[in-house]
Structure 1
């Protein structure tokens, strides 16, 4: 049963990422900016700590959105991979970044480790129930579970291109539905 679920998620991931990769670069840039504007307008609160991510390959670029939260006085952090888990390190202008594997970068070990009140979550595919298929290693599911174990309940916003939507994401017991998914076409919220 579990293998079937993994195989289904792998097929969904492969197909959705192929659609994302097929987008023209100019289309991805414009769509990224629209998503950033949508989320900035939809989140009226000013969270103290926001986790984002630095884009890889054809992934959505949310750096303008992260800066809009910084303009609201939020501290920013991005994930670093430490012993197979995510550690959210503070992103400070001018601080050096180190390669993390998979084409990602993060601040070094000297950076503060932060717990986010709002998480901007990357994804490979999503559905209307706010289900998410990630990149297949469960990093974000475990990171969210760790925050919840500390008694925190971060606002979880998935950010993606509309072409990454699928009919249904198969959900396992550890899969966490997102509070909101933002694309260039719309916001899907509970």
Structure 2
């Protein structure tokens, strides 16, 4: 474990991400991730109609231009943003460029759940930013795990959505340098695994 708690590990990783976002290496890493995302969207176009994304905060990678281009090139595609409920679950509402967003109590821009023009969406694919990530081996399968901000919103929501839709694809978005070893952090029993992990090295399945 890092220091005394995962909290100090998160703080260190967020500070490193801020430095990385200002470095000369960042633009190349960003373009590599966006190119791999575009390739994924092309390969899975037939089975994905709706994607839940995130509004970037604290130097998270901005995926919106690539995803907006996907909706413009394919008819009937929907993008959605998360809304944090008081019970620490997420609902997803349709989002279009230019929509007015409301800051949550955590400072995250969220859609207005009362907007009648933006219905609630059950996504086929969820893109989740990682503060850190790790991997484990179960037989021949590699599992990927996300270290987030500690609220547990995504884990609760994924557990619920996967019961309704076993075909749901959940992809963590991160960078190679964010990989953690067991001495730094290990996934807990309540953590939901990622289906895929996207970094500048490509899409890991």
TM-score range with shorter-chain normalisation? 0.7 to 0.9
Query: Given the two structures, how large is their TM-score scaled by the length of structure 1?
Result: 0.86
Q: Distance in 1 between matches of 2:96 and 2:202?
A: 30
Superposition RMSD in Å: 2.2
2:39 to 21, 29, 41: 41
Asked whether the equivalents of residues 134 and 186 of structure 2 are also in contact (C-alpha less than 8 Å), the reply is no
1:136 to 150, 160, 164: 150
- Which runs of 4 or more aligned residues in structure 1 lie more than 4 Å from their structure 2 counterparts after TM superposition? none
Task: Choose 1 or 2 for highest CA Rg.
Answer: 2
Paired positions, count: 185
State the shift of 1:14 in Å: 2.5
Give the 3-state SS of the residue equivalent to 2:119 in structure 1: coil
State the shift of 1:31 in Å: 2.5
What are the residue-to-residue correspondences of 1:75-154 with 2, within 5 Å? 75-83=78-86, 84-109=88-113, 110=115, 111-129=118-136, 130-154=144-168
Give the 3-state SS of the residue equivalent to 2:61 in structure 1: coil
Query: Given the two structures, how large is their TM-score scaled by the length of structure 2?
Result: 0.80
Matched, 1:12 2:9: yes
Comparing 53-62 with 98-107, greater Cα deviation is found at: 98-107
Q: Distance in 2 between matches of 1:166 and 1:132?
A: 10
Q: Deviations over 1:90-112 (max 9, x none)?
A: 10233221112333212212121
State the shift of 1:147 in Å: 0.6
